[in-house]
Amino acid sequence: MREKDMLKATLRSEKTDRLAGGLAAIGLSPNAWTLISLVPALAGLTALVMHQLALGLAMFALSAFIDIVDGTVARVTNQVSDKGAYIDGVVDRYVELMLYLGLLIYIGRGDFLGLPNEVWIVLLIFGGLMTSFVRAYADHRGIVKDPGELKRMGGLLERLERLMLLYFGMFLGLFDIQWLMAVIALTALLANATALQRIRFALRAKS
């Protein structure tokens, strides 16, 4: 995933490599670290269900950190593989859906800009899932065959930016729930716009 690869490349400092080396010394494989990122995500979901926003934010941030580090562990131990990338992508979807479910329960009933809060969350889920699906399906159907072209199917808001926005919104929500709703609404709109951008890119590539 291009956005995560860019972030991981940015974090490839000597300190990051030392940290990854230390984690690798524990003896767990990169795939094991990827799966471990589900644990704080599940804790974050539980915290949001219990209306503990600060704890939920901390747990999902920890999950994101582990998700970034696992790739560095794979690199320093020479265990980079397509299977590992596949597992990473699947776990990413689970973590993201846990976050959406947690936010849906935490926010509860109400409305924002004339629409029920639940509608904004559903729009967010659609945008998040379709952004990933559009590129994966274009690859699967051979509509966009060149790997370089697939990487160019970016758009306004990819997964990393989407999550960073939501985490920022959760932080603002500690002070006022309406700020969290504003960020959720903005993220939902941008995520769906990104999915439409990718659809347009794929259709133009076919022609």
Query: SS3 string of 18-84?
Result: HHHHHHHHCCCCHHHHHHHCHHHHHHHHHHHHCCCHHHHHHHHHHHHHHHHHHHHHHHHCCCCCHHH
54 in the same domain as 132 = no
157 plus 174 within the same structural domain:
yes
| DSSP one-letter string for 101-136 | HHHHHHH-S-EETTEEHHHHHHHHHHHHHHHHHHHH
Q: Determine the straight-line distance between the first and last CA of the chain, rounded to whole angstroms.
A: 25
| Model confidence at 5: pLDDT above 90 | no
Mean pLDDT along residues 66-94:
80
Q: Which carries the bigger pLDDT value, residue 149 or residue 92?
A: 92
Domain end among 84, 107, 130: 107
Regarding whether 47 and 131 lie in a shared domain, the answer is no
Residue 21 and residue 37 in one domain? yes
Do 94 and 139 fall within a single domain? no
In this structure, the answer to whether residues 79 and 174 fall within a common structural domain is no
Q: Determine contact, residues 30/84, Cβ cutoff 8 Å.
A: yes
One domain, residues 103 and 114: no
pLDDT band at 191 (very low <50, low <70, confident <90, very high): very high
Least confident range of 37-51, 86-100, 153-167, 185-199: 153-167
Instruction: Decide if pLDDT at 103 tops 70.
Output: yes
The string of pLDDT tens digits covering residues 144-157 is 776 667 777 777 78
pLDDT at 4 over 70: no
Q: How confident is the model at residue 1 (pLDDT cuts 50, 70, 90)?
A: very low
93 and 122 housed in the same domain: no
Q: How many domains does the chain have?
A: 2
CATH number of the CATH domain containing 53: 1.20.120.1760
Q: State residue 16's pLDDT score.
A: 58
Average pLDDT in the 114-130 region?
Answer: 93
Average pLDDT of the chain? 84
Per-residue model confidence (pLDDT) at position 134: 86
Boundary-marking domain end, from 82, 107, 132: 107
d(CA 151, CA 201): 11
Query: Which range of residues forms the domain containing residue 56?
Result: 1-107
Give the integer Cα–Cα distance in Å for 84 and 165: 26
pLDDT exceeds 60 at position 52: yes
Domain boundary among 74, 107, 140: 107
Whether the model clears a pTM of 0.85, i.e. scores above it, the answer is no
152 plus 56 within the same structural domain: no
Give percent of the chain above pLDDT 70.
84
User: Is the domain of 101 the same as that of 1?
Assistant: yes
